[in-house]
Amino acid sequence: MLNPLITAKRILQAAAHVSDSAALVRLIVERIRSALRVDVCSLYVMDDQEELVLTATLGLEESAIGQIRLAIGQGLVGTIAKRQHPLNLDHADQHPKFRYFKDLGEEHYQGFLGVPMIHLGQTLGVLVVQVKETRRFSEEEEAFLVTMAAHLAGSLAGNLKKATKPINGTTMPILRYQGIKGAPGIQIAPAWVVRDDIRLEDIPERAGKGLAYESELIRQALEETRDELDTGLDQLGTSDSDTLNSLLEVYKLLLASPELLAAINEELDNQHCASTALKHAMQRQIDVFESMEDPYLRARAEDLRVLAVRVYRHIHEDTAERISPDQPVILVGRQINLSHFTRIDRDKLAGIVSLEGSALSHTAVLANALGIPAVVGIGDEDLTRLDGTELIVDGYRGQVIAHAPTGLREEYERLTRQEKALQADLSHLKLLPAETKDGMQIKMYTNTGLLADITPGLERGAEGIGLYRSEIPFMVHNNFPTEEEQIRIYRGVLSAYAPRPVTMRTLDIGGDKALPYFPIKEENPFLGWRGIRFTLDYRNILLDQIRAMLIANIGCNNLQLMIPMLSREDELQSFHRLVDEAVAQLKEEGHPVSKPAVGIMAEVPAVLWLLPRLSDTIDFVSIGSNDLTQYLLAVDRNNPRVAKLYSHLHPAVLEAMRGLVRECRRLNLPVSVCGEMAADPAAVILLLAMGVRTLSMSAFQLPRIKWLIRRLTMDDCLLLLDKTLSCATEAEMRELLNAHIRSLDLGALVQ
Ligand code: PEP
Ligand code: MG
């Protein structure tokens, strides 16, 4: 019985140990040929010229590797790529598309099955198996190959293309990783891979600095790991104490095994550094355990993996504490978190790349606050091998690029220079109004959530805070902050901005915004217990928060309250009752508080139709275009697979925005936009035309958008909105708007 999942898993596990892409593709064809018991397995990979190159084969003439090239649509392989559909043939050479290549040896094989390898809609290559007999492959065989191709395409997308290059070529192939925009900006700097949460396969491979030095390093690390196991201090992932003790015993035995120590010494003798010697030696032991029949012994392989990482951490103990590069670096890791920010000097932190995380994870929030470009949520890519490699982090597009060819690198260098100059040039705008050329005044507010970004906002002339994301201080705590702690935090913000208005949104957790001390597990968290839905179920938390905000507001008088994720009229009524109760309680306690203005986020599409029912009991509306886009288009804003579908220029989003603004104006409700749309120059033109007069964005975006507004005229904006709405595609819309921005000599805004 063929099991594509297990075969794919084994290939991917083995792939972690191969040293180059030629070995990787050979491994793939080897494993598939033996799993399917066929005569031939070959892999054709699409190269940069969009040609399918024979990259590995077992069964056909190996000297043809790299020589056989097919355009899309050419031959059987090109046809499979073109149609993105398998071909299963009993007589390959009788198919009208069959193309004969001399010296390839295909004439000996009749049965042919080829399937495309597709990732995110792109054909990466074609996998082919062949047999001598004249037969069609069975349904099971076809299903196996299709599934294998899908797994391998998803997991090895970045590595396959490398195999089409000559092995001893002088230039490294460009690597591009698509993630989610974490924080805007562009930076070029070497990668610094942080080693937390590392897996055995992630351990980078390097030569050693000398046998004596590396031996001592590993000796110490092993000793420290043994001490750690003796004291049993670290729970190694389990909380049950009996299980823990027996696990620790197993670990100790494994660590003391003479085979392991001999293997480490052998690897050190081969001039590897301590980490590489550890990795190879552990892997050798793991392979032995994995091949055992006894399931108990096979499971020890997993223990060895855990153990290897423990020892590895001890080897790098000094670097785990403090990150002290001698030049600015891009921190790369599975989950870059707040602790990393505290372990590196600000002037050494050029950018962030986090495999996990979302646009609103701590990483992204902090990077935004500090003005550090960040790309998050790249997914399961192996970036650890890039340690020390120069990376380009493009926070505008959510892309990370390694081995950029000279031309591309120069272009990015130009952009970073331009950006620096722009920031410096724009500092004079701080005191100037955001006013169009024909005199329309726009209010420029900032989005914040940390005390760290209070100053950047003020320095850039923010006229108030349009969105204070109150969940952020909750996220950086270890438990729900007390009322007193919250008062201190909120007072810091309110007093720094007084008398300018500060719109504090009550706790918006759930979805992708998890509290470390209050995990919520749901099948579909974005449609679940989020924002006001959660806090109305935890009235005490909401009450504490509102009380703290009201007390902090005493003497400042600039607080406005805002409700996140509102989708029902009764939620608004309950919220009002709670605020009234908080005011009454505090008055009773002798605090001179009064009820502040109450507004709502318009981010669930339902609000568009609810506004007439809500308008009597709300004082303002702030459009959260991030969630509005997500919910209108049913596109997860944090899923890189559908990132290209997430667009606030989608005609439905524009119509919804227009409808919301029109409704607010009709109902005399002040309206602002506080989602990312407010910081997108192209979108700002449309928002102005729709009638938006207040924008709120991260502090680092304020000068750019103010610069744009001061060059626009309302007539132009209105005209452009009209034209935009009749464009056929979003790409066309963006080009139209960008062309206008360029025509104003503001090309730097639309890189
Ligand atoms: C939004 O949804 O647009 C918004 C500003 O809220 P958040 O990004 O915090 O969900
Ligand atoms: Mg939102």
624 lines ligand 1 (CB under 6 A): yes
pLDDT, tens digit (0-9, with 9 covering 90-100), for 709-719: 999 999 999 99
Minimum mean pLDDT range among 315-324, 470-479, 645-654, 720-729: 315-324
Q: Quote the pLDDT of residue 383.
A: 78
383: tokens are 């970036």
Q: Is the pLDDT of residue 247 over 80?
A: no
Q: Does the reported pTM lie above 0.85?
A: no
Q: Quote the pLDDT of residue 497.
A: 97
Question: How far is the centre of ligand 1, averaged over its atoms, from the C-alpha of 406 (Å)?
Answer: 38
Give the chain's domain count: 4
Q: Quote the pLDDT of residue 98.
A: 92
Residues 705 and 560 in one domain: yes
Q: Is the pLDDT of residue 170 over 70?
A: no
Residues 278 and 402 in one domain: no
Sign of CA dihedral 525, 529, 534, 538: negative
Q: Quote the pLDDT of residue 729.
A: 94
**Up-side HSE of residue 46: CA atoms within 13 Å toward CB?**
23
Minimum mean pLDDT range among 276-285, 413-422, 542-551, 623-632: 413-422
Q: Quote the pLDDT of residue 338.
A: 64
627 lines ligand 1 (CB under 6 A): yes
Question: How far is the centre of ligand 1, averaged over its atoms, from the C-alpha of 123 (Å)?
Answer: 35
Q: What residues act catalytically?
A: 362, 674
Does residue 739 lie in a domain region? no
Q: Quote the pLDDT of residue 319.
A: 39
Question: How far is the centre of ligand 2, averaged over its atoms, from the C-alpha of 512 (Å)?
Answer: 10
End residue of a domain, out of 389, 422, 455: 422
361 lines ligand 1 (CB under 6 A): no
Does residue 408 lie in a domain region? yes
Say which residue the tokens 């351990």 belong to.
Answer: 203
Minimum mean pLDDT range among 257-261, 302-306, 496-500: 302-306
Q: Is the pLDDT of residue 236 over 50?
A: no
Q: Quote the pLDDT of residue 689.
A: 98
Q: Which of 467, 507, 673 to mutate to test the pocket of ligand 1 (most atoms within 8 A of CB)?
A: 467
Residues 274 and 335 in one domain: no
Does residue 724 lie in a domain region? no
What is the CATH classification number for the domain harbouring 179?
Answer: 3.50.30.10
Residues 143 and 188 in one domain: no
Residues 336 and 374 in one domain: yes
Task: Report residue 3's pLDDT band, with 50, 70 and 90 as the boundaries.
Answer: confident
Does residue 169 lie in a domain region? no
Minimum mean pLDDT range among 127-131, 403-407, 420-424, 500-504: 420-424
Residue with CA closest to ligand 1 atom 10: 627
pLDDT, tens digit (0-9, with 9 covering 90-100), for 567-592: 999 999 999 999 999 999 999 999 99
What share of the chain in percent tops pLDDT 90?
A: 53
Does residue 399 lie in a domain region? yes
Say which residue the tokens 């904006």 belong to.
Answer: 717
Query: Which H/E stretch holds residue 392?
Result: strand 390-394
Q: Is the pLDDT of residue 683 over 50?
A: yes
Residues 571 and 473 in one domain: yes
Minimum mean pLDDT range among 231-235, 515-519, 560-564, 689-693: 231-235
Question: How far is the centre of ligand 2, averaged over its atoms, from the C-alpha of 456 (Å)?
Answer: 22
625 lines ligand 1 (CB under 6 A): yes
Q: Which of 362, 470, 627 to mutate to test the pocket of ligand 1 (most atoms within 8 A of CB)?
A: 627
Question: How far is the centre of ligand 1, averaged over its atoms, from the C-alpha of 696 (Å)?
Answer: 11
Distance between CA atoms of 33 and 39, rounded to whole angstroms? 7
Is pLDDT larger for residue 143 or for residue 313?
143
Contact, 89 vs 102, CB < 8 A? no
Distance between CA atoms of 601 and 563, rounded to whole angstroms? 6
Q: Which of 567, 629, 674 to mutate to test the pocket of ligand 1 (most atoms within 8 A of CB)?
A: 674
Mean pLDDT over 741-746 rounds to: 92
119 lines ligand 1 (CB under 6 A): no
Q: Quote the pLDDT of residue 231.
A: 67
Question: How far is the centre of ligand 2, averaged over its atoms, from the C-alpha of 245 (Å)?
Answer: 46
Residues 12 and 98 in one domain: yes
375 lines ligand 1 (CB under 6 A): no
Is pLDDT larger for residue 632 or for residue 225?
632
Distance between CA atoms of 683 and 542, rounded to whole angstroms? 34
Residues 263 and 146 in one domain: no
What number does the ligand 1 atom closest to the CA of 630 have? Answer: 2
364 lines ligand 1 (CB under 6 A): no
What is the CATH classification number for the domain harbouring 83?
Answer: 3.30.450.40
What is the CATH classification number for the domain harbouring 568?
Answer: 3.20.20.60
Residues 311 and 330 in one domain: no
Residues 390 and 450 in one domain: no
Distance between CA atoms of 400 and 206, rounded to whole angstroms? 23
* Domain of 418, in residue numbers: 175-194+324-422
562 lines ligand 1 (CB under 6 A): no
Q: Quote the pLDDT of residue 166.
A: 54
Mean pLDDT over 161-178 rounds to: 66
675 lines ligand 1 (CB under 6 A): yes
End residue of a domain, out of 300, 319, 338: 319
What share of the chain in percent tops pLDDT 70?
A: 92
Contact, 273 vs 208, CB < 8 A? yes
Q: Name, of 123-137, 235-249, 407-421, the range with top average pLDDT.
A: 123-137
Closest CA to 144 of 11, 293, 290, 298: 11
pLDDT, tens digit (0-9, with 9 covering 90-100), for 28-68: 899 899 889 999 999 999 988 889 999 999 999 988 898 89
Residues 337 and 452 in one domain: no
535 lines ligand 1 (CB under 6 A): no
Q: Which ligand is nearest to the CA of 447?
A: 1
Does residue 489 lie in a domain region? yes
SS (H, E, C) 74-93: CHHHHHHHHHCCCEEECCHH
Q: Is the pLDDT of residue 651 over 90?
A: yes
Task: Report residue 232's pLDDT band, with 50, 70 and 90 as the boundaries.
Answer: low
Mean pLDDT over 489-516 rounds to: 92
Does residue 615 lie in a domain region? yes
246: tokens are 């027996």
User: What's the mean pLDDT when you consider all of the chain?
Assistant: 87
- What's the DSSP call for residue 616? G
Mean pLDDT over 460-466 rounds to: 95
End residue of a domain, out of 364, 394, 422: 422
Q: Which of 469, 474, 505 to mutate to test the pocket of ligand 1 (most atoms within 8 A of CB)?
A: 469
DSSP 227-272: HHHHHT-S-TT---HHHHHHHHHHHHHHHT-HHHHHHHHHHHHTTB
Residues 372 and 476 in one domain: no
Q: Quote the pLDDT of residue 420.
A: 81
Count of C-beta atoms within a 10 Å radius of residue 297: 13
What is the CATH classification number for the domain harbouring 290?
Answer: 1.10.274.10
β 111-119/175-178 pair status: unpaired
Contact, 186 vs 423, CB < 8 A? no
Task: Report residue 17's pLDDT band, with 50, 70 and 90 as the boundaries.
Answer: low
Question: How far is the centre of ligand 2, averaged over its atoms, from the C-alpha of 674 (Å)?
Answer: 9
Task: Report residue 181's pLDDT band, with 50, 70 and 90 as the boundaries.
Answer: confident
Does residue 39 lie in a domain region? yes
Q: Which ligand is nearest to the CA of 695?
A: 1
What number does the ligand 1 atom closest to the CA of 467 have? Answer: 5
Residue 746 CA, chain-centre distance (Å), reads 29
